[in-house]
């Protein structure tokens, strides 16, 4: 049996995602297509514009056979950790035969050469990279320049090719320990309207679309609370403890907190020559959700995967295949939580908190008086 994996945010789902699913089935001849979906918070350092349940249903209606949730620890991380967590989940399911991803180049050989070069980084390259970063270049630009300087090659710099390269790096490591390789496929992106432009329109016209500004007051509270704890209970909680927060960024947050007026304006105020808007937004999302560096270190190996939805006509056979792997598969949290060790129960609590926070904000926008925010009562979505 062939099962293709796709890693996606679908923020929101659009024609390009539908094309990716259709093309992946055509290329691989797979019996099933499984999408590993970012939950309610995504890699660009923002909440998803639509809840994961809506995007899950769209994916199932758009051709996916099952939708799994990428834990928030990975879905909000930079490309390296995002790809590492996602590929490890697909690998540990043990039934995924192919991995398909959208690509600006559509050139799998070029992307694999990029990955091979970065797996075998030379000391000369590392030194050039450090120098370029110190000079204030963004990471993609610094890395590409270092590769040109030391090896005469050009690395991918477009968003999807950058992420594809990280997938291939992690897939290479996973395949080295696997009897049956997961085969990667780069699918050339089609010229559809971008997700970012659709989101911008949604945030202007849809009263229920979720954006970073909806979390502005919560973020301000978190920043003020941490600032107070830093002064009154040293060592208990520090801005530097959170993922993506460097010492320089933490100090800048402290210095500029008095002028806080909202999530987006604060992010803009913190931008610098070598810190992009997205990197800062991710740091702020990690502070908002309480995701610390110690937790990232503790959970680099994923310990479960949750199924959000499945097509009714393939539910029994596909869920049976997914459940034969080396990772617990959760289809109903209230029942399946017992599959987890105490260690990974802590990781699941992070997902539950993030979802309840998101659902609470959405309920406020909708004016719901008695919303049910219990993640454990949510049912598997079937179409």
Give the pLDDT confidence score for residue 310 in this predicted structure: 98
Residue 136: pLDDT band (50, 70, 90) is confident
Q: Is the pLDDT of residue 15 over 90?
A: yes
Strands 381-382 and 305-310: parallel
Name the 3-class secondary structure at 261: coil
Residues 6+ apart with CB under 8 A from 51: 40, 210, 358, 359, 362
Binned at pLDDT 50, 70 and 90, residue 365 comes out as: very high
Angle, vertex CA 129, rays to CA 123 and CA 131, nearest 5? 105
Question: Residue 33 has what pLDDT?
Answer: 98
Q: Sign of the C-alpha dihedral, residues 296, 299, 300, 305?
A: negative
Q: To which residue do tokens 């399946």 refer? A: 336
Q: What is the pTM of this model?
A: 0.95
**CA-CA distance, 210 to 285, in Å (whole number)?**
14
Q: On the CB side of 6, how many CA atoms lie within 13 Å of its CA?
A: 31
Please work out, in degrees rounded to the nearest 5, the angle formed at the alpha carbon of residue 82 by the alpha carbons of 344 and 62: 100
User: Tell me: the pLDDT tens digits for 197-250?
Assistant: 999 999 999 999 999 999 999 999 999 999 999 999 998 899 999 999 999 999
pLDDT of residue 135: 86
pLDDT tens track for 244-263? 999 999 999 999 999 999 99
Short-list 108, 88, 106, CA closest to 96: 88
> Using one digit for the tens of pLDDT, what is the confidence trace for 121-135?
999 999 999 999 888
| Average pLDDT rounded to a whole number, residues 269-275 | 88
Alpha helices in 68-158 (DSSP H): 72-75, 79-93, 108-119, 123-134, 139-151
């Amino acid at each position: 049996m062939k099962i293709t994996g796709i890693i996606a945010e679908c923020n929101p789902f659009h024609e390009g995602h539908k094309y990716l699913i259709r093309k992946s089935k055509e290329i691989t001849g797979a019996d099933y297509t499984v999408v590993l979906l970012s939950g309610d918070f995504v890699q660009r350092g923002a909440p998803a514009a639509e809840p994961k349940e809506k995007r899950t249903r769209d994916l199932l209606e758009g051709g996916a056979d099952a939708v799994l949730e990428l834990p928030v620890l990975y879905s909000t991380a930079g490309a390296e950790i995002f790809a590492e967590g996602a590929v490890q989940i697909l690998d540990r399911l043990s039934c995924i035969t192919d991995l398909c991803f959208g690509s600006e180049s559509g050139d799998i050989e070029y992307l694999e050469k990029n990955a091979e070069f970065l797996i075998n980084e030379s000391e000369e390259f590392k030194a050039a990279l450090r120098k370029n970063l110190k000079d204030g270049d963004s990471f993609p630009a610094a890395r590409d320049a270092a590769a040109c300087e030391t090896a005469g090659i050009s690395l991918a710099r477009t968003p999807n090719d950058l992420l594809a390269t990280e997938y291939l790096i992690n897939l290479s490591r996973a395949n080295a320990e696997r009897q049956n390789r997961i085969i990667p496929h780069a699918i050339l992106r089609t010229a559809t309207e971008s997700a970012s432009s659709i989101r911008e329109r949604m945030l202007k016209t849809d009263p229920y679309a979720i954006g970073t500004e909806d979390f502005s007051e919560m973020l301000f509270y978190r920043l003020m609370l941490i600032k107070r704890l830093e002064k009154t209970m040293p060592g208990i909680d520090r801005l530097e403890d959170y993922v993506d927060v460097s010492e320089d960024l933490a100090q800048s947050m402290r210095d500029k907190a008095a002028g806080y007026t909202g999530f987006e304006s604060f992010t803009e105020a913190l931008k610098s020559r070598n810190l992009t808007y997205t990197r800062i937004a991710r740091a702020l999302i990690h502070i908002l959700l309480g995701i610390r560096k110690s937790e990232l270190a503790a959970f680099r190996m994923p310990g479960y995967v949750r199924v959000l939805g499945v097509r009714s006509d393939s539910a029994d056979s596909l869920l049976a295949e997914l459940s034969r792997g080396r990772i617990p598969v959760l289809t109903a949290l209230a029942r399946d939580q017992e599959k987890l060790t105490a260690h990974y129960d802590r990781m699941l609590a992070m997902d539950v908190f993030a979802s309840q926070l998101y659902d609470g904000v959405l309920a406020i926008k909708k004016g719901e008086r008695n919303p049910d925010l219990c993640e454990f009562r949510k049912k598997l979505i079937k179409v």
